[in-house]
Amino acid sequence: MTNILPFSRNVQECEIGVETKILAPTTENIALAGQLLRDGRLVALHTETVYGLAANAFDTAAVSEIFAVKGRPQDNPLIVHIADVDDVHRLTRWFPETARKLAGAFWPGPLTMVLPKNKAVPYAVTCGLDTVALRMPGSPVMLAAIRAAGTPLAAPSANRSGRPSPTRAAHVMDDLGGKIPLIIDGGSCEIGVESTVISIIASRTDGAVPAKIKILRPGAVTADEIAAATGLSVGSDIEIDPAVLSPLPEDAAPPSPGMKHRHYAPRAEVILVEGDFDGFADVVSRVVGDAGPYKLWAMCFAGEGDKLSVPYIEYGGENDHLGQCGAIFDALRRLDAMGAERVYVRAPSRDGIGLAAYNRLLRAAGFRVVNLHKET
Ligand code: TXA
Ligand code: MG
């Protein structure tokens, strides 16, 4: 199929077998993306965090197709992306002062707010929840596509479920090629990890009492920045959900359903090592002797790899948390391509944006951590 027009809109007909085009974000191609989205098709779009797999948020059939194409669990709700703050009123029945301040400070940008949904939002988007996650993305590509579609777009990360999130158009092609008609290539994603997701909890729905905030997923917008924008305090009013740093008990109902699923995982077994570089090098050289048939790799900070006795990928400077975030998912995918079977990873500090990098690696590792600080 060389021409992706005209479109058929038959949900029974799975998208498998379509030709996937990768196009630059020209005005013409953005208009094409808008037309596909209006017609109920899926389009992968660049955002400043990771690539998103977008559908018209009000089109239940198109939204259902996102779950099918990604192999996404049916209980993991989607983020709805808007291009204008006023669009929140098309989607939520409550937008308190705290949310308004946060939108003013961080939108467009990598902050997602979970708020009570209104009737217009299909339960297919929220997986039956009465809340909806909203974000105004910073990427001009995504903003232009929302405007071209003329509708808010539901969009999870554009990877196959469980795989590392895509930070380049080629990653999307690897995971979803042949299943969607179009990827708009805006280059590599500047931030490289998904948005900060917060829920805003009101003591009173009229908003008279200041809200409390829970960080459900750490991202480039940090707890300290949220505090500065709202006047709330970290610890008492702004809490980091325990699921950010520890596995949920089997039967627990997670505040953010995405947190209970295996995530960001390459095929290799990943082990996160907390401690200094010398300790890390020691762990690696100890296991290299008895690694047996494993193809052992290290993921370390810039400038460290040459001092190790195993092949390595460097993922940003030790104190460059944004650089680490930008490199993590690409590094995990490259390790797969190299046939790595076991990967020891230098753990970043959890300060500032480091918490987002740490959280993604912890999940890629399935919570397997060697903590050298605790060893005597
Ligand atoms: O940066 C991002 O947020 C990217 C780009 C494409 O915008 N999107 C993204 O979507 O990461 P996804 O689906 O991979 O992650 C959405 C997260 C999941 O952990 C999900 O459980 C949570 O947001 N979420 C969505 N709706 C929610 C809700 N109503 N309540 C609690 N958590 C929600
Ligand atoms: Mg995702």
The number of beta carbons lying within 10 Å of the beta carbon of residue 336 is 16
Q: How far is the centre of ligand 2, averaged over its atoms, from the C-alpha of 285 (Å)?
A: 34
pLDDT bin (cut points 50, 70, 90) of residue 13 is very low
Q: Are 140 and 119 in contact (CB under 8 A)?
A: no
pLDDT at 5 over 80: no
Sort strands 312-314 and 369-371 into parallel, antiparallel or unpaired.
unpaired
Tokens of 109: 């940008």
Q: For residues 343 and 312, what is the distance between their CA atoms, to the nearest angstrom? A: 9
217 C-beta closer than 6 A to ligand 1: yes
pLDDT score of 266? 81
3-state secondary structure 208-227: CCCCEEEEEECCCCCHHHHH
Tokens representing 375? 């060893």
Question: Which of 223, 225, 256, 250 is CA-nearest to residue 75?
Answer: 256
Per-residue pLDDT at 234 exceeds 60: yes
Q: What is the mean pLDDT of residues 67-82?
A: 96
| Residues with a beta carbon under 5 angstroms from ion ligand 2 | 157
What's the whole-model pTM score?
0.93
Determine if the peptide bond prior to 25 is cis (ω within 30°). Answer: no
Provide the pLDDT for residue 247.
Answer: 86
Kindly state if the Cβ of 258 falls inside 6 Å of ligand 1. yes
Ligand 1 centre from 365 Cα, in Å? 20
**Residue 194 in contact with ligand 1 by CB distance below 6 A:** yes
Residues 258 and 363: beta-carbon distance below 8 Å? no
pLDDT at 201: 81
Q: Which atom of ligand 1 is nearest to the CA of 137?
A: 7
* 303-322 burial: b if 16+ Cβ within 10 Å, else e: ebeeebebebbbbbebebbb
Condensed to tens digits (0 to 9), the pLDDT of residues 126-154 reads: 999 999 999 999 999 999 999 999 999 99
For ligand 1, is residue 167 a contact (CB within 6 Å)? no
pLDDT tens column, 261-305: 667 778 899 999 999 999 999 999 988 766 555 689 999 999 999
pLDDT at 7: 40
Residue that the structure tokens 């339960």 belong to: 123
pLDDT tens digits for 193-218? 999 999 998 765 555 566 799 999 99
Atom 15, ligand 1: residue with shortest CA distance: 156
| Any ligand 1 atom below 6 A from CB of 157 | yes
